[in-house]
Amino acid sequence: MLERGIREKARGLGFSACRYTHAEPPGAAAHFRDWLRRGYQGGMSYLERTAPKRCDPRLVLDSVQSLVLVSLDYAAPERTGAGLRLEGEHSGAGRPSWTGYVAAYARYRDYHQIMGEKLQALADFLCVQAGPKIRALWYVDTGPLLERDLAQRAGLGFAGKHTNLIRPDAGNYFFLGAILTNARLTPDVPERSRCGRCERCLAACPTGAIRAPYVLDARRCLSYLTIEWKGAIPEEYRTCLGTRIFGCDDCLTVCPWNRFARESQVLGEQARSDLRAPDLVDLLRLGEGDFRVRFGHTPLARLKRWGLLRNVCVALGNVADERVLPLLAETMRGAEPLVAEHARWAIRQIESRRSR
């Protein structure tokens, strides 16, 4: 049976779940269009440009009949929340150490590369097993698909009130991948919502970005502001960042379904220990070449150096220790205007606290 063979192959590649659904438009398409109309996508204009395809997989691949949805677990973070942190008093030769927070999913080699290699192998297997006329097109988070909604219809998990997918057997901490194919695969039974009355994720969001259950305003989301947004971080949200420099796990971390989360077996070898608690002062001193060498094959490469420095300046402003003032002043003088503005804000933050 083709479906069984694909699942066995997926399991052998390290995927934690593999489910199937048909290629009809997802039921959440109308909700997605309304979300766009409200402007909740912020500066992610590509979502508007690709909206027709996202609302109908049949526009993505001619003659598509089925979709294969897979997940790959990653390790859960060690702590709850991602606010202001001062971890340890010193690092190195008596130097104070202030550490930044990197979202748990980004503490590995770039997941697009890891999952892409595995999805290509699974797609190749599908085509060989299903016959010479079979086509397959795969995506990891970059294709014009509503993967979360397709995955719920395939029975892989359900959309939580924080708008992320939850697997009842694994919680929040996994990546999603999709394969579109013209092979006919028997659809799995959709998963039902299991959030019940729980609204811990709404209460945990530092900026109130989850406007209502299942409604996220990306313009307030700290993950969006630290990763996707390319401009100045709005001042009203800067103190909310704490020491976050890439993403925010708060709404995921508080989810009670994480009691079933598992440590990643596949991604263990790809872990980057230097991203668990990176030193903010060291990061602010990174040159362009050093940035590319250190982060070139991680999700942080997406920020580019200026984006990382922007975030680090805000984090140091929130730490509010006078000993970083000289470094921030040096950064302000020599950096791009956007970084300089955030360094200037950080200096003001520190000096205002000193005067109290």
> What amino acid positions are annotated as catalytic residues?
141
- Tell me the three state secondary structure of residue 337: helix
Q: Which candidate, 280, 334, 225, 246, places its Cα nearest to that of 88?
A: 280
CA dist list (Å): 124 to 6, 69, 135, 180, 333: 11, 15, 9, 12, 53
Cα 214 from Cα 304, distance rounded (Å): 31
Q: What does DSSP assign to residue 224?
A: I
Q: Dihedral of the CA atoms 318, 323, 324, 326 (nearest 10)?
A: 140
Cα 324–chain centre separation? 30
Q: How do beta strands 66-73 and 17-22 pair?
A: antiparallel
- Tell me the three state secondary structure of residue 305: helix
Q: Which candidate, 81, 73, 78, places its Cα nearest to that of 10?
A: 73
- Tell me the three state secondary structure of residue 271: strand
Structure tokens at 90: 């010193």
User: 150 and 17 in contact (C-beta within 8 Å)?
Assistant: no
